[in-house]
Chain A
Amino acid sequence: MSDTMQSPAGQEEARYRALQAVDPRAPSALETFTTGLHDESWRVRHAAAEGLRRVPDAPGVTARLISVLGERGETGARNAAAEALAGMGPVAVPPLVHLLEHEDPDQRKLAADILGQLGRPEVEDVLLRALSDDDLNVRVAAAEALGRMGGDAAARALEGLLDAPTLLLRLAALEGLASLKRAPPLERVMALVEDPGVQRSALRLLGLYAPGVATERICRALASPVRSVREAALVALGKQAVGLGPYERGELDAVARSVLSGIPGVTAHVAQALDGDDVRVRAGALVAAGALGEASLAVAVAEVAREDRLLREVLFTLGQLGPEGRRLLLGSMGTLSLPARTVAAEALVLLVDSTSVPELCALLEWAEDDLRAVVVRALGRTHSPDAVAPLVELLSDPTLSAMAARALEQLTVAHPLEALAALEAAVEQRTTPAAVAVLGRLGGARVLPVLRRIARDEDASWRAAAVEAAGRADGEAGLELARGALADESPKVRIAAVRSLGQQGGREAATFLGLALKDEDRGVRVAAVEAVGVAGAKERSPDLEALVRHGDGALAMLAVRALTKLGTVGTGVLWDALSHHDAEVVKAALPALGSAEASADGAALAMSLLGHPRWDVRVAAARVLGGMGRPECLPALQQAMSVEQDALAQVALAEAVVRLSGR
C-alpha cells in the first residue's frame, strides 16, 4: 500500500472513493450515504449528500435527511443533510413545512433556512407565519428565506420589520429587501443609515434608488473612517449607476461630485478601492473616480480593466478624467498591464485632436495589434494632414491595412490633395497594393492611366488591386479591365474582377458573371455568387438555383441569399434549401418563405421548422411566422412555445404570438 493510503488524507481519500463507488439503487445505499453524512471530512460529507440525491426513493431519502437534522451535536452531519435537502426539489417541501411546527426551535430554524434555499414560491405564506415565531432565530431565518424568494407579500412583511426592536431582524429585513430588489419608501432607509448596527446594509439598499437624495447620502458615507462602511457606500453607488441613460447619469455624477469634492482624503480612499478584491466595490469606485474627474486616478482606473466585467465602466470613467488624465495615461503606457493599456488607448482615441499625431505615432511602436488598431482609428479622427503619411505607411501592414484605408478616407474629406499625392507616391514606389485600392476609390477617372499600367504588373496582388480599383474609379474602364482580368491565371485577380463586375451591374457584367460562376476555383465561385446578388443580375438565377443544392454550405448559403436579394426564389429551390444539412442555409432560406409565391406552402414549412433541433433555426422560423400575418399559425406557435426550452427561442415565439394575435 502506498504512503497516501495510510496517511489521514489517504484514508479520507479512500472513504471518498468508496462513497463514489456506491450504487445508489442498492438497497443499502440510503444507510451508507447517511453514515457518510456523519464523516469528519467535509469532502466525504459532500459526496454523501450528492449520492443521496441519486437514490431513487426520494420521499424515503427526504424523511431520513429530516431525521438527521434532529441529531443535536452532529453539526457537520446536520449541515450536510441541509445541503442535501436543498437539492431535493419540491418533494422536500411538505416535510419541511411540517418541520416548521417542530417543538425544537433549532429544527424550525433549519426548516426555514432550507425552504429559503429551495426557493419555491408556494411556501411564502408558511414563511410569513414563521415571522411571528416565538424564537428569534426562527424569525430571522424566515426573514432571510423570504428575502431569497418572496413576492409582494414578503416584501411588505420585510418592510414591516425595518423598525423591529431587534437588530438582527432589522438586518435580515434590509438584506432581504436588497436581494428582492424592493425599495421601501426612501425615508425609512435614510433613517436606518444613521443606525450604526445596520448602516452598511442600509447603504447598500440605497443603491436601489434613483440618483438624487440617496446618492448624496451614499457619498457622504465615503467620509467614514471605517473601510467597510466606505465599501458598502461604493457598492451602492455602483449599483445606482447601472443602466442609467446619459441624462440620469449626468445627474448622478453631479450630485456625487458636489459631495465627494468636499471630503478630505477621498481620492486616496477611491484609489484604494479601485485596487480592491470585490468587483462591486471596484465598480462603485469607478463611478466615484469619474464623478470626481480626478486625473491622478487615471492609471488606477485603467488597471481595473483587468476585470473584464468592468470594461465598459472603465472606458466611460477614463473619458471623464479630462486632458490631464490623458497626459498621465500616455506617460504611463509602458507600465500599464496589457488590458489596461488597450483600454487606455481606446479612451485616448476619444480625446485626440489635430495636435495628437506625434503622440499617436509613438503608440504605434507598441507591439499589440489591438492597441495599434485603436491608434489607426485615432489617426483618422485627428483630421490632421500630418496623419496622412503614417496611415499610408500602415497600408502595408496586413492586419491594419483595411483600417488604415478607412482612416485615410476620413482624412481625405478635409485634405484631398495631400492624401492623393501620398497615395500616388506610395503606388509609384510599390509600397503596397492596398494603396492602389484606396487610390482608385479616392482618385476617380484621373488615376485611370496609373491603374491600367498596374493591371499589367507581374505581381498578381498588384493586378488584382488595380482591377478592383478601376471598377470604382470609372465604370466603362472598370468593365474593360475586369473582362480581361477574368482570364487571368491567378484566382486572386479573377476574384477582383468578379467583385468589380458585381459593383458595375448591367447586362454585360451579368454575362461575365455567368462564366465566373463556373470557374474552377472555389474562391472565385463564392465571390461570383455574391456578386450576382450585388449586381442584381436576375438572368443568373438558374445558375444560382443549381448551387443551392451544392454540398458546400458556403456556396449554398450565398446562393440562397443572392436569390432572395434578386427576389427570384422559387418554391422548389426553397425546399432544397430548407432541407440542406447546413443550418446556415436553412436560416438563409427562411425569410424567403414570406414572399407571395411561397407563402401558401411557406407557412406550413416554417411551422415544421419550429421543431428543428437547432435553436437558431427555431428562432428564425418563429420570426418568419410572426411576419407572415397568418392567424391560422397561432396554435402551432403556442404549442411550440409550451415545449420550448431555449430562452431566445421562447422570446422569438412569444413575439410571433403577439404579432399574430395583436393585428
Chain B
Amino acid sequence: MPRFDEGRPEMTLEEFRLLRDHVYAHCGILIHENMKFVMERRLWPRLEALGIQDFGSYHRYLRYDAQRSAELEAAVESLTTHETYFFREPAQLKAFCEELVPILEKRNAHTRRLRLWSAGCSSGEEAYTLAMLLKESGRFDDWDVEVLGTDLSRRVLAVARRAEYGPSALRATPPDLLERYFIPVGVNRVRVRDDVKAWVNFGHHNLSDVAGSQLVPRSDVVFCRNVMIYFDLAARRRVLGVIRDRLCPGGYLLLGHAENLLSLGADFELVHLKGDLVYRRPELPGGEGR
C-alpha cells in the first residue's frame, strides 16, 4: 500500500516557522510546532495547485507574488478548523436563554432592538442557533433583531449563506427544533427556514483587523466561541479589545467551554450566572449607555 504522503515535499522546521509567523501576523492564529505535519498536509494541495515544488518557494510566493493576498487567504483557509454544529455547548445556551435573554428583553425594552454577534461563526450554525433560540423565547417577535455572523474564511461564509446542512451539523439538534426551524431539501439535508434567516446576516471580518472592526455594529451580546483557542496571549488581547469596543456597555461576551479571560486584565467583569460564567463589559459610570 502506498503512503499518503508519497512524493510530496516535506516541510523543514525552518520553513514551518516562516510560514507560521506569516500566518500569525495576518490573523493571530498560532500553529504549534507539534502541528507541523498538519500544516504540511493542509498546504500540499496549495503547492500542487500552484505547481510549486517546496515550502521554501511557497513562503516566497506568499511574500512576493502578485497573487499573494489571495493565496494567503487560501492558505489560512486550509489551516483553520471550521468544526461547528447547531446547538453546540447546550449548557451555555441554556444559561443564555434562561438568564441573559430576560435581562436583554428588559434592558432593551425601550428600543425594541437586539443585536447579537457571532464572531468566528464558521459555516453559520451558531448564528442560526442563536436566532432560533430568540424565536423560541417568544419575547422578540416584533422587535428589530439581527444576529451577525462574521468569519475570516470566505468559503465558510458561502456555506452559511446557503443555509443548507447535513446530519453532521445537526447532530445535537433536538428533534422538535429540527421540525420547527428547518425544511427538508433532499436526502439527509435540511435548510434553515426563511423567518430565521431573516434575522441573520453574514459578513467577512478578520478579528485581528482592528480598523476593520468599525464595520461591525455595536452588539448586546457577542459569542466568540472556539476561535481564540488558536491565538496566543498577544493576539487574544488584541481581539478582546476589538470585542470590548463592539459591545454595548453592559453587554455580554460568551466564550467557548475551554476558554477564559484569566490573566487578560480587567476589561471585562466576570458574571456568575446560575448555569454558566460569562463576561460583561462594565457599564459606563453613571449608567450611560443603558
Q: Hey, which bits of chain A sit against chain B, CB under 8 A?
A: 2, 4, 9-10, 12-13, 16-17, 20, 43, 46, 50, 306, 308-309, 311-312, 315-316, 319, 334-340, 346-347, 349-350, 369-370, 373-374, 377, 399-400, 402-403, 406, 522-523, 526, 553-554, 557, 584, 615-616, 619, 648
Which of under 10, 10 to 19, 20 to 34, or 35 or more describes the interface residues of B? Answer: 35 or more
B287 touches A2 (CB 8 A): yes
A348 CB, min distance to chain B CBs, angstroms:
10
Given contacts A46-B262, A311-B41, A553-B63, contact A616 B166 (CB under 8 A): no
- A372 CA / B17 CA spacing, docked (Å): 28
Question: Nearest residue in B to A308 (C-beta to C-beta)?
Answer: B38
B48 touches A309 (CB 8 A): no
CB neighbours of A619 from chain B (8 A):
14
Given contacts A311-B41, A319-B4, A406-B48, contact A370 B78 (CB under 8 A): yes
- A557's partner among B3, B60, B155 (CB-CB below 8 A) is B60
17 pairs, CB–CB < 8 Å, chain A vs chain B = A4-B282, A9-B269, A9-B270, A43-B270, A306-B81, A308-B35, A308-B81, A370-B42, A370-B78, A374-B45, A402-B51, A522-B66, A557-B60, A584-B64, A615-B17, A648-B13, A648-B17
- B4's partner among A46, A306, A349 (CB-CB below 8 A) is A349
Does any Cβ of A come within 8 Å of B111's Cβ? no
CB neighbours of B272 from chain A (8 A):
9
A370 touches B17 (CB 8 A): no
Given contacts A336-B168, A400-B49, contact A2 B83 (CB under 8 A): no
Given contacts A9-B270, A46-B262, contact A319 B1 (CB under 8 A): yes
- A377 CA / B5 CA spacing, docked (Å): 12
A338 touches B60 (CB 8 A): no
Does any Cβ of A come within 8 Å of B259's Cβ? no
B66 touches A523 (CB 8 A): yes
B32 CB, min distance to chain A CBs, angstroms:
9
B83 touches A337 (CB 8 A): yes
- A315 CA / B42 CA spacing, docked (Å): 13
CB neighbours of A315 from chain B (8 A):
4
CB neighbours of B280 from chain A (8 A):
4
CB neighbours of A399 from chain B (8 A):
49
- A615 CA / B166 CA spacing, docked (Å): 47
Within 8 A of A (CB), among B56-95: 60, 63-66, 78, 81-83
B14 touches A648 (CB 8 A): yes
A596 CB, min distance to chain B CBs, angstroms:
26
- A616's partner among B14, B38, B266 (CB-CB below 8 A) is B14
- A484 CA / B13 CA spacing, docked (Å): 45
Does any Cβ of A come within 8 Å of B265's Cβ? yes
CB neighbours of B17 from chain A (8 A):
615-616, 648
Question: Nearest residue in A to B168 (C-beta to C-beta)?
Answer: A337
- A403's partner among B42, B48, B64, B189 (CB-CB below 8 A) is B48
Question: Nearest residue in B to A526 (C-beta to C-beta)?
Answer: B64
By secondary structure, the B interface counts as mixed
A16 touches B266 (CB 8 A): yes
Given contacts A319-B1, A339-B81, A350-B4, contact A584 B49 (CB under 8 A): no
CB neighbours of A616 from chain B (8 A):
14, 17-18
A363 CB, min distance to chain B CBs, angstroms:
15
CB neighbours of B13 from chain A (8 A):
648
A306 touches B270 (CB 8 A): no
- A338's partner among B82, B265, B282 (CB-CB below 8 A) is B82
The digit string for B1-42, where 1 denotes a CB below 8 A from any CB of A, is: 111100000000110011000000000000000110110011
Question: Nearest residue in B to A2 (C-beta to C-beta)?
Answer: B283
Q: Apart from A12-B270, A557-B60, what are 10 other A-B pairs with CB-CB below 8 Å? A: A312-B37, A316-B4, A319-B1, A335-B188, A336-B168, A349-B4, A370-B78, A373-B48, A402-B50, A403-B48
CB neighbours of B4 from chain A (8 A):
315-316, 319, 346-347, 349-350
A335 touches B166 (CB 8 A): yes
Of B4, B38, B167, most buried by chain A (CB within 10 Å of CB) is B4
- A391 CA / B147 CA spacing, docked (Å): 42
Instruction: Give 8 nearest A-B pairs by CB, closest first.
Output: A554-B64, A373-B45, A337-B168, A335-B167, A402-B51, A13-B269, A308-B38, A315-B4
A13 touches B50 (CB 8 A): no
CB neighbours of B42 from chain A (8 A):
370
CB neighbours of A20 from chain B (8 A):
265-266
Question: Nearest residue in B to A10 (C-beta to C-beta)?
Answer: B269
A557 touches B64 (CB 8 A): yes
- A659 CA / B50 CA spacing, docked (Å): 37
Within 8 A of A (CB), among B247-265: 262-263, 265
B35 touches A309 (CB 8 A): yes
B49 touches A402 (CB 8 A): yes
CB neighbours of B282 from chain A (8 A):
4
Question: Nearest residue in B to A333 (C-beta to C-beta)?
Answer: B166
Does any Cβ of A come within 8 Å of B271's Cβ? yes
B256 CB, min distance to chain A CBs, angstroms:
15
CB neighbours of B287 from chain A (8 A):
2
Question: Nearest residue in A to B159 (C-beta to C-beta)?
Answer: A367
The digit string for B188-219, where 1 denotes a CB below 8 A from any CB of A, is: 11000000000000000000000000000000
- A335 CA / B269 CA spacing, docked (Å): 41
A14 CB, min distance to chain B CBs, angstroms:
9
